[in-house]
Amino acid sequence: LITDCLPQTLNYDERKIYDLIAGRMLEAFSGACIKDITTVTLNCQGILYQVKGAVTKEQGWRDVFHEKSDPNKEKEEDRELPPLIKGQELTVSQFQLLEKLTKPKPLHTEASLLGAMETAAKELESEEQRLALQTCGIGTPATRASIIETLFNRDYMTRDKKCLVPTEKGLAVYRAVKDKRIADVEMTGMWEEAFAKIESGEVVAGNFTKGIEVYTEQITTELLQVKLDLPKQEILTCPKCKAVPVNFYPKVVKCSDPACDLVLFSIICGKKLSNDVIHLLLTGKQTGVLKGFKSKTGKRFDAALTLDGDFKIKFHF
C-alpha cells in the first residue's frame, strides 16, 4: 500500500532501493513512450544508403528515470535518430570500408533445440500446413526431451559444455535421410491438417489410415535402399587378452570375448572421450592433456590419460 510517510534516515543503499521501487511504481502509472519508427534513405553521389531507427515524440514512462536508449543493446530499427527533414543535406564526418565473412548458424543448445522442435512450422511453405503444425511442432512437450536423449544414447550427438555437437555417426545418418520423406517436416504438418479435417468430418478416418499404410511401405522401401557412408573404423585387438578385437558402443568399449573383462567407459568424470583418445589408450599410449574433467565436488580439472597395469584409466596431472 502507498502511504504518505516519507522515508527518513536511509543510508545510501537503502535510498537506492527505495528510489528504484518508487520510480518503478511511477513508471507503471505513467504514459506510453511514443516513437516514430523511421526508415531514412540517404543519397551520396548516386549511391543510396538506408538507415532504420526511431525518433522519440513523447518520453512517457522513460521520463521518470530519464532513461536513454543504449545503442549497443538495441536493434538497429530501435535506435534513436536525430530529427531529419526531407531534402536536408548532411555532412559526411567519416567513412570506413569493412570486409566481413558470413557466419554459420551457432550450434544448438538443448534449450534452443527444444525451441526449434516446437516452432518447426516456420520452415514450411504451405500456409495450411504451417497453421496445422503451429500448435504442435515436432513431438510434444512430454516427448521432446526424450527424443533429444535418444539422440545422445544412440551416439548421434554429444555435449560440448552447453552446445550440442553432431558425431560422425549422426552426420552420416543426416546425410543419408535429409532428402528422404521420413525427414520431411511437412509430413507432420500434413498429418495435423488431416487430423483437423477428420475432426470436422471433411476426411474419413479410414482413408487417412490407408494413406499411412502406403506411406509406411514407401519410406521403409526407401530406407532399405540407403547406404550409410560411415567412416571405416580400425579393428583394435584387446590389449588385455590380446586375442580378439574390442567392440565400440555408444557409452563403453568392451572386449568381444565374454571371458575377458576389459571395459572402458567413454564418459569419464563428465567428459566424453573421443574414439581417437580411446584408440591411444588401447594401443598403450598416453593422451595429451585433455580439458573439461569434473571431480565429484564439481571442480574442473585437466589431465592426460593412460591405462594402468590393471587396464583401468589413470589420470596424469
Which sign does the torsion angle of CA 58, 27, 63, 76 carry? Answer: negative
**Residue closest to 181 by CA, chosen among 204, 211, 210, 209:** 211
- Distance of alpha carbon 79 from alpha carbon 71, whole angstroms: 6
Q: 139 or 113: which carries more pLDDT confidence?
A: 113
pLDDT given for residue 178 in this prediction: 84
- In DSSP notation, 79-127 reads SB-----TT----------------PPPPPBHHHHHHHHHTGGGG---H
User: How does residue 109 score in pLDDT terms, banded at 50, 70 and 90?
Assistant: very high
pLDDT tens figures, 209-223: 998 899 889 888 888
Name the residue type at position 147. I
Which cell goes with 193?
Answer: 491438417
Domain ranges, ordered by start, for the chain: 12-78, 110-224, 246-316
Which cell goes with 237?
Answer: 585387438
Which sign does the torsion angle of CA 291, 292, 296, 297 carry? Answer: positive
**Per-residue exposure over 277-313, b if at least 16 CB sit within 10 Å of its own CB, e if not:** bbbbbbeeeebeebeebeeeeeeeeebebebeeebeb
- Distance of alpha carbon 309 from alpha carbon 303, whole angstroms: 19
pLDDT tens figures, 52-89: 887 778 888 888 887 665 555 455 556 777 778 888 88
Is the pTM higher than 0.75? The answer reads: no
State how far the alpha carbon of 214 is from the alpha carbons of 84, 205, 207, 209, 210, in Å.
64, 15, 11, 9, 6
Say yes or no to pLDDT of 189 above 70. no
End-to-end, the C-alpha distance of the chain in Å comes to 61
- Report DSSP state, residue 257: S
Top mean pLDDT of 83-87, 117-121, 130-134 is at 83-87
Domain 110-224 has CATH 3.40.640.10: no
pLDDT tens figures, 199-256: 888 888 888 899 889 988 988 888 888 776 655 666 888 888 888 888 888 788 888 8
